[in-house]
């Protein structure tokens, strides 16, 4: 998901520098914002679970 987001940002930035006439609509930007928020939430859940796993693994001496 992050790779796709990065690729979209690269294309949009390239258009800015090359004078491309594409300009995302407000709705497109809002949809992208919601997607980024969802990705952040998923990453937070993953990181929290990973941290909990590492802590519990350390307590068991494994």
pLDDT of residue 58: 65
Is the four-CA dihedral 31, 9, 17, 20 of positive or negative sign?
A: negative
pTM for this entry: 0.55
pLDDT tens track, the chain, 62 positions: 667 778 877 877 777 667 777 777 889 889 888 988 988 888 888 888 887 877 787 666 55
- Rounded CA separation 41/36 (Å): 9
Residue showing tokens 């937070």: 44
pLDDT of residue 60: 60
Is the four-CA dihedral 22, 13, 5, 44 of positive or negative sign?
A: negative
Least Cα distance to 35 among 14, 4, 12 occurs for: 4
Longest dimension (CA), the chain: 59
């Amino acid at each position: 998901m992050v790779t796709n987001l990065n690729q979209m940002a690269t294309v949009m930035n390239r258009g800015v520098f090359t004078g491309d006439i594409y300009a995302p609509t407000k709705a497109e930007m809002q949809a992208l914002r919601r997607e980024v928020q969802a990705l952040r939430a998923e990453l937070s859940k993953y990181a929290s679970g990973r941290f909990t796993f590492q802590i519990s693994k350390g307590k068991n001496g494994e």
